[in-house]
Every structure is written in C-alpha cells, then in structure tokens.
Amino acid sequence: MFIGHFAPAFVAAASYSRGPKLATYFVAAQLVDWAFFALAMIGVEKMRIDPNATVMVPFDLHYMPYTHSVVGTGVWALAFGLVIAIWHKDTLAGLLTACVVGSHWVLDWVTHRPDLTFAGGEELYGLGLWNFPEIAMPLEIGITLAAFLFYIKRSRGPIVQPLVLLLVLFAMQAINWFAPHPTEASLFLYIQSLFAFGVLTLLAMWVGKNRYFTQAGGLAAASV
C-alpha cells in the first residue's frame, strides 16, 4: 500500500484541531518507510526485486526487523508520539500521532505477502492482498478518497491546495502501479522513494497552512 497509508493521516488531522497539522501526520503515516529506505541505503535493512513476490509489487522485503516488525513499528510509534506530545504539550496529540504511525503496520499486514514479523523472528505475517489487484486497487483509492473527503468536510479554507495534493497522490499511485518496475533494489530506488515522501509532505504542509477547523466558540487554526 502506498497512498492508502495517508488515509489515517487525513482522519487524524481532521479529528483533533489542537493536534499537529497535516504534514506531521503525513510523516507519521510513512515514518517506518522513511526509516526503512534510510536504513536500506546503509545496508542495515534489506530488500530485493523478485517479479514473483506478488502480482502487484515485485519487492521481496526479506529483512526489516527494525521498522516493519510489530515491536519495531511500536518503538517508532512510541518515540514519535512522545516527541509530538512534548512539543505540543498535549498527550492526546501524541497518542493520535502514535496511532497513525502504528496504522502503517496494520495496512501492510493486509497488503503484503507474509514478510512482516513480530520482533524479527522467523514467523511471518501478511494477508497478501497485493495478489488481488481487483480488490487492492479500489480499496486503496476508496480509503484514501474517503479520508480526504472527511478532512475537507471537517475543515475550512481554499480547495485548490487540497485538490493539488489529491491529484499528486493519485498520480504517484498510478506510477507505482503502472510504470515499469525497477529491475534491482538500488540506491536510486531508495532515494526516489524518499523524494516522493518528501514531495507529499511538503504539499501536505502547504495544505495544512491553509485549512482551519471550526470549533465551538469560533474559528481555530490547527496548531503548527
């Protein structure tokens, strides 16, 4: 799953106006992938290209205990949630951010073939939805669009910026699905992935600066 990971970010940003803006939740949604590609660049975690891995995605993610295990994801969620709670002086903001980080493992569990672990052990988890494009594709589009509309409904501001973000999300997803797949897991692939996350985070920052949340007692902007 790619853009579907951002669905919890939209929901979280729209659910608690005193929490972080959308960009922070975008980082939270893909935090373990940020970490995975960074660690893969230095050989700590590992992947390879296997055309037979799944029908949709040729990635054999054969070693990623520090980011994509239950324990690993939990540590990242706890650490990032703690940072946000301290920064915003708001426990609920930290808890919500941690939940967005943790949602990544759940969504990966649904889509990945069995390549996820509990704590880096031999037992592997994954329902393998990537082997069923006719289900995976509409599901990913559906949850992303539903979460986006929830965010728009709960906030006020110009519509242009959110629509640009949505179009870029769908464009990147189309590239992810239909462009030729890489033939090897190279440094370029890792940098390309991090660049895509960076672009989406910057767009989310642009959106967040222009969206506001109506609360009892007046109009209040979401915190930075």
- Tens digit of pLDDT for each residue in 197-209? 999 999 999 999 9
**What values do phi and psi take at 61, rounded to 5?**
-90, 80
What Rg, from alpha-carbon coordinates, does the chain have?
17
Q: What local confidence, expressed as pLDDT, does residue 195 receive?
A: 97
Structure tokens at 45: 């975690």
Rounded to an integer, what distance in angstroms lies between the CA atom of residue 222 and that of residue 213? 7
Q: What local confidence, expressed as pLDDT, does residue 224 receive?
A: 34
Q: What total of structural domains would you count in the chain?
A: 1
Q: What local confidence, expressed as pLDDT, does residue 211 receive?
A: 92
Beta bridge partners of 220: 213
- Strand boundaries in 4-123, DSSP class E: 46-49, 59-63
- Strand boundaries in 50-122, DSSP class E: 59-63
Over residues 15-20, the mean pLDDT reads 92
pLDDT digits (tens, 9 = 90+) for 156-180: 999 999 999 999 999 999 999 999 9
Domain containing 143: what range?
A: 3-221
218 vs 211, residue with greater confidence:
211
Using pLDDT thresholds of 50, 70 and 90, give the confidence band for residue 218: very low
Q: What local confidence, expressed as pLDDT, does residue 200 receive?
A: 98
Rounded to an integer, what distance in angstroms lies between the CA atom of residue 143 and that of residue 218? 30
Q: What local confidence, expressed as pLDDT, does residue 213 receive?
A: 84
Burial of 89 (0-12, 13-18, 19+ CB in 10 A): exposed
Q: What local confidence, expressed as pLDDT, does residue 43 receive?
A: 96
Task: Please check the confidence at residue 26 and state whether its pLDDT lies above 60.
Answer: yes
Structure tokens at 25: 């939740």
